Structure 1
Amino acid sequence: MSEQHVAVVTGANKGIGFSIVKSLCHRFNGIVYLTARNASKGEMAISELNKLGYYPLFHQLDISDEHSVKRFRDYIAANHGGIDILINNAGFQIFRPYKEPLVDVALKTIRANYRNLRDTFKDLVPLLRNDARVINTSSGFGHLSMVPGAKIRAALSKPNLTVDELTRLMDDFIRSIRSGNNIKDGWGDDPYKISKVAIAALTFIQQRELINTNVKVNCINPGYVNTDMTRHMGVLTPDQGAEVAVYVALDAPNSLKGSFVWADKSVIDWTGPFPDK
């Protein structure tokens, strides 16, 4: 079994994830795993990095597939014994105009961005070593102010919110859309925003659950990055978008935990006004 430090990046065959892997290969003293749902695309990404002089390892990981997650978990446990950096970068977005009912968009988006991250973390958390750092990729849209309704904002930011309660809130969002009451109920009509808010709320819960450990869990807004997720309209390069994730993974003080870190590496008030930056 290898005793080297291990970093894992999900959804890393392109975009910000690819750039995170590249930067970690340059700076991290250990093994870097590039993971992706599609094995051939993952291997192509590895080949591209090899040409640049970087040598991460590849392992197939589809966070929507419970068996894939468990295979990856067991592989890391058997070969390395643990994880030192876990960057949950995999994400999903359906763009407007939607070609299917809003409730179907919401179901797919909440499942991909919230439920899959929740379940993957649950499977991998036993592998997190002392002083491990976990980074969940949210968005500027993940700020609590993106939720129109004050009562819902209060429920999402409750200091002792649990994973089960957060999941029930996401179920309420789906039911509200299905009944056609999502605007009146205060949810709005953007499943992507709600999913990214949920990632932030989940991050704070995860940190509270690990309060008696040295594991640090934070979420980030990488900024408006030129990737498929922005239909290549972003103003930042993927390398620039990766900077905040790498900062939190390698350079942030040990006191940084349970926080939302903005693209400029500042810690923002998730419950306050939207950051003017």
Structure 2
Amino acid sequence: MRIAIVTGANKGIGKAIAKSLASSGTFTQVICACRDETRGLSAGQDIQQTSDNGCDVIYLPLTIGDISSHENFYNEILERFGKCDVLVNNAGMAFKNADPTPFKQQCKPTLDVNFRGTASFTDLMMPLLRKGNDARLVNVASMSGYLSQLRSKELQERFSNENVSKEEIHALVDKFEKDVLQGTHVENGWGNSNYGISKLALIAMTKVWAREERDNGIAVNCCCPGYCDTDMTSHKGPRSPEEGAKNAVIPCLMKDPPSGQFFSNFEVAEW
């Protein structure tokens, strides 16, 4: 029995990832973990209809950033399966360019879902991954998380330090939010994208998890799907969700995967 969980799998890239995993012949169970029950159930049914190899596809409720939802989900997986073999953290959020919400007010919600919520959920799920067979963790990040968006070389070095701790990454993200609220983030060497910093922090955390879980046999990687035709891009992206999903599916399925790497355009890329 092999279990795969894909967060945010009700549409777009997440649904495409779940569909690819379900049809791979590698899993007995694929869980579409999402907050929207109607879309989650529909996505699970759609994927199930295209999976003809005995893989069972189900929906389970999960709201990233809601601690009680994290705990309920963890307990459900623990009770039903006792382990997780593959976890793909795809759930995320982004404000549209035309959104009237001021930049300062966009900061906390973006960080809370894309980084803090994802990190909290992953830490909670890690004991189940440690019980997995050939376990994999894949975080869907973005090229928007590129290191050079940081104007300060010192900040670049702190995020990319091979010995950086989880606590330091959280502290750096907290400092970014504080600087945004004070209107000093640019002069203090940060980039000017809440989404970009949230994904940069997730990439940095990916490398910490990879380091910490190496002896536990968990391959931990992250990826950029590319600019895809999804709701998040207002369907402006030239790449299909199915093509974008491949960047997450490759480290999920490849034999002898690396760990602590960033996948883009279907191969290991530079951060």
Alignment match, 1:241: 244
Amino acid at match of 1:79: R
**Which letter maps to 2:73?**
F
1:35-46 matched pairs, under 5 angstroms? 35-46=33-44
CA displacement, residues 164-188 of structure 1 (integer Å, 9 cap, x when unaligned):
1001100110111112111111112
Q: Unaligned stretches of 5+ in structure 2?
A: none
Q: Among all aligned residue pairs of Structure 1 and Structure 2, give the percentage whose two residues are the same amino acid.
A: 33
Cα offset for 1:87?
0.3
Which runs of 5 or more structure 1 residues have no equivalent in the other structure? 271-277
Q: Secondary structure at the match of 2:135?
A: strand
* 1:130–1:215 contact (8 Å) kept in structure 2: no
Instruction: Tell me whether 1:131 sits opposite 2:134 in the alignment.
Output: yes
Seen in structure 2, the aligned counterparts of structure 1 residues 184 and 210 have a Cα distance that, compared at 3 Å, is same
CA RMSD of aligned residues (A): 1.4
1:195 offset after TM fit, Å?
Answer: 0.6
In the TM superposition, residue 211 of structure 1 has moved relative to its aligned partner by 2.5
CA deviation vs aligned residue, 1:182-217 (integer Å, no higher than 9, x gap):
111111221011111111001001111112211010
Decide whether aligned partners of structure 1 residues 146 and 90 sit closer, same or farther in structure 2, where only a CA change above 3 A counts.
same
Residues 132, 215 of structure 1: 8 Å contact kept: yes
Kindly indicate whether residue 58 of structure 2 is the aligned counterpart of residue 57 of structure 1: yes
The alignment status of 1:12 with 2:9, answered yes or no, reads: yes
1:130 and 1:44 map into 2 onto residues whose CA distance is: 29
Deviation (angstroms), 1:230 = 1.1
Q: 1:159 aligns with which of 162, 167, 179?
A: 162
Displacement of 1:130 in angstroms is: 4.5
Q: Following TM superposition, by how much is the alpha carbon of 1:98 offset from its aligned partner in structure 2, in angstroms?
A: 4.4
1:101 aligns with 2:99: no
Taking the aligned partners of 1:60 and 1:33, their CA distance within structure 2 comes to 10
Shift in Å, 1:72 = 1.2
DSSP-derived class of the 1:254 partner: coil
2:46 paired residue among 42, 45, 48? 48
Retained in 1: the 8 A contact 2:15–2:43? yes
Following the alignment from structure 1 to structure 2, what is the Cα–Cα distance between the partners of residues 213 and 51?
A: 35
Check if 1:257 corresponds to 2:259: yes
Residue number in structure 2 paired with 1:81: 82
Partner SS, residue 27 of structure 2: coil
Greater shift after overlay, 164-173 or 128-137?
128-137
Q: 1:144 aligns with which of 139, 142, 147?
A: 147
How far, CA to CA, are the matches of 1:44 and 1:79 in structure 2?
22
**1:188 pairs with 2:185:** no
Runs of 4+ in 1 over 3 A off after TM superposition: 50-55
3-state DSSP of counterpart to 2:5: strand
The aligned length equals 265
Measure, in 1, the Cα distance between the counterparts of 2:186 and 2:42: 43
Residue 225 in 1 paired to residue 228 in 2?
A: yes
**Which amino acid in the other structure matches residue 77 of structure 2?**
I
Q: Which stretch shifts more, 161-170 or 41-50? A: 41-50
Structure 1 97/61 Cα, relative in aligned 2: closer, same or farther at 3 Å?
same
Whole-angstrom CA distance in 2 between matches of 1:256 and 1:152: 26
- Residue 51 of structure 1, CA deviation: 4.1
CA distance in 2, matches of 1:45, 1:162: 37
**Cα-to-partner distance string for 1:215-273 (whole Å, 9 max, x where unaligned):** 0100001111110111111111111111111111012x4241011111x2221222xxx
Of the three residues 20, 25, 28, the one matched with 1:23 is 20
Instruction: Give the direction of change, closer, same or farther, for the CA distance of 1:16–1:255 in structure 2 (3 Å limit).
Output: closer
- CA distance, structure 1, for counterparts of residue 220 and residue 107 of structure 2: 26
For 1:266 and 1:49, locate their aligned partners in 2 and report how far apart those are by CA, in whole Å.
26
